[in-house]
Amino acid sequence: MRIAMIGSGYVGLVSGACFADFGHDVVCVDTDIAKVEALRQGEIPIYEPGLSSIVTVNAAAGRLVFTTDLTAAVSQAEIVFIAVGTPSRRGDGHADLSFVYAAARDVAEALDGFTVVVTKSTVPVGTGDEVERIMRGANPEADFAVVSNPEFLREGSAIEDFRRPDRIVVGTGDQRARTLMAQVYRPLYLNEAPIMFTSRRSAELTKYAANAFLAMKIAFINEMADLCERAGANVQDVARGMGLDKRIGPKFLNAGPGYGGSCFPKDTVALVKTGQDHDVPLRLVETTVAVNDHRKRSMSRKVIAAMGGDVRGKTIAVLGLTFKPNTDDLREAPSLAIIQALEDAGARIRTFDPKGMDAARELLPGVTFCEDAYDAATGASGVVIVTEWNAFRSLDLPRLKVLMATPVLVDLRNIYRRKEVEAEGFHYESVGTLAPG
Ligand code: NAD
């Protein structure tokens, strides 16, 4: 099939490359000339494990091309996916749909023959109706169907998630669109991925409901972690005991510094706004947002307490900047709020992240960027693990201790065992567990 992918970011590039890998002919479009030029040279503008080789193989085979020419790409396509960004709108937190609407207008003007236009971007319930209206206005003669097909992949495991999704959700009432959507995803049936057809509005809302639910699960276990600390329980045991219940499941029950990333923060806020617009207060989601906002900064208080209550003039090593491991994405990362709060308290920050430092340099002007964890820890009065990269999971603790001014390890991801760290002479703080006694 011939596919045009509008927007070649995390979602568009991964989806485009994977569709090409299925054997479809894919044209990835982006307005960012530098990005398209880089992709044409075989450079991948984001860090996503496994993506580079899929792009290289399929580009070499001629099934995957990159362009800024939306008109040519769309006029030859049977299916057009819109995968542009939908960030938070400045000021009110609604999803900013200006990129989606601009793309819809351009797509409408370029259509040639019946085309399925799919919003893969995360968009509020009812957006498909507006996209259809805009397209009809831009090109009244065009023959098209607007479909919702939200994307559920996760950065860091995006290729695997795309190839083996838990489900594919397709929202449409159009039979021709349904047939084409079934065809484009047919290769995934081999992996037995269930494809679920529903109304466009239900599909749009499913994405927000799923993200809000997962965010709520994280906020919930983080509150339990606080209670565990006060009440002398261990949140990892509590989470394990909860997660073994099949109705609950073990995922998204890791206590930590709060969720971040390009999706949960903006999608939860946008869902709250949608609820308000429909006069249906979504109190659980509102509270989730508030709990998480509060949590990020409260983690800095934990660090300060671990370092004796005052960090003015002290050096702190922050390990991990990205919102999770295996990505270079810093959007809404807890590290940013934690570092800001520690700087506000007078600390000097040294940091290392395996993939996030290039993007971080602009965002964190006062911070010293280091070669590795040991370089970051040199002269530090405390080391804080913010992102659980594999590189931080088995640090040489005796070596770290020698380099540090005082041996304090604050493990905001609970990746160390208290006994082992304390045995090396460190003061150790984690999330939701306390030293026995
Ligand atoms: P991104 O910012 O990485 O990429 C968006 C791309 O679209 C950019 O390269 C931008 O230059 C391009 N663009 C903007 N307007 C354009 C236009 N008119 N024509 C062509 N290109 C245009 O964003 P992303 O992380 O890939 O997210 C895209 C959408 O997918 C968002 O709605 C997001 O919520 C959703 N989503 C993201 C993830 C994720 O993990 N990143 C997962 C699921 C869903």
* Residues noted as catalytic: 263
Could you tell me the pTM of the whole model?
Answer: 0.96
User: What pLDDT was estimated at residue 398?
Assistant: 98
Mean pLDDT, rounded, for 158-163:
96
Q: Ligand 1: which residue has its CA nearest to atom 1?
A: 9
Q: Do domains 2-198 and 264-429 have the same CATH topology?
A: yes
Q: Is 136 annotated as a binding residue?
A: no
What integer is the mean pLDDT of 74-90?
A: 96
* Overall average pLDDT of the 317-334 stretch: 96
Out of 11, 39, 74, 322, mutate this one to test ligand 1's pocket (max ligand atoms within 8 Å of CB): namely: 11
**Closest atom, ligand 1, to C-alpha of 86:** 32
pLDDT in tens, 95-121: 999 999 999 999 999 999 999 999 999
**Residue of 10, 211, 327 best suited for mutating to test ligand 1, as the one with most atoms within 8 Å of CB:** 10
Domains in the chain: boundaries: 2-198, 264-429
* Dist CA 40 CA 30 (whole Å): 12
155 annotated as belonging to a binding site for a ligand: yes
Q: Are 383 and 408 in contact (CB under 8 A)?
A: yes
Q: Do residues 369 and 360 touch, judged by C-beta distance below 8 A?
A: yes
pLDDT tens, 170-223? 999 999 999 999 999 999 877 677 999 999 999 999 999 999 999 999 999 999
> Which ligand 1 atom sits closest to the C-alpha of 106?
18
- Tell me what the mean pLDDT of segment 289-307 comes to: 95
Task: Classify the complex by whether its ipTM is higher than 0.95, answering yes or no.
Answer: yes
* Dist. CA 397–CA 219, nearest whole Å: 31
What's the pLDDT band for 386 if we cut at 50, 70, 90? very high
Distance between Cα 422 and ligand 1 center (Å): 44
Atom of ligand 1 at shortest range from CA of 120: 30
Instruction: Give the dihedral sign, CA 154/155/159/162.
Output: positive
The model's confidence at residue 277, banded by pLDDT at 50, 70 and 90, is very high
pLDDT at 437 over 60: no
Q: Whose CA is nearest to atom 20 of ligand 1?
A: 30
For ligand 1, atom 34, which residue shows the shortest CA distance?
122
Q: Determine the distance separating the centroid of ligand 1 and the alpha carbon of 87, expressed in angstroms.
A: 9
Res 188: pLDDT: 87
Q: Known binder of ligand: residue 355?
A: no
Distance 13 CA to ligand 1 centre (A): 9
67, 70, 262, 322: residue to mutate for ligand 1 pocket, most atoms within 8 A of CB: 262
Kindly report the CATH number that applies to the domain delimited by 264-429: 3.40.50.720
List, chain by chain if needed, residues with CB within 6 Å of any ligand 1 atom: 6-12, 29-32, 35, 70, 83-86, 99, 102-103, 121-122, 151, 153, 155, 262-263
State the Cα–Cα distance between residues 224 and 295, nearest whole angstrom. 12
User: Using CA atoms, how far apart are residues 254 and 235, in angstroms rounded to an integer?
Assistant: 9
In the chain the first and final C-alpha atoms are separated, in Å, by 65
207 is in an annotated binding site: yes
Has 266 been labeled as part of a binding site?
yes
- Which residue bears the tokens 């799923």? 210
Fold exhibited by the domain 2-198: Rossmann fold (3.40.50)
pLDDT of residue 9: 96
Distance between Cα 317 and ligand 1 center (Å): 32
Residue 349 CA, ligand 1 centroid: distance in Å:
31
pLDDT tens digits, 350-359: 999 999 999 9
Which phi and psi (to 5°) does residue 267 adopt? -75, -35
Q: How far away, in angstroms, is 11 Cα from ligand 1 center? A: 6
- Give the residue whose CA is nearest to atom 23 of ligand 1: 85
Q: Is 152 annotated as a binding residue?
A: yes
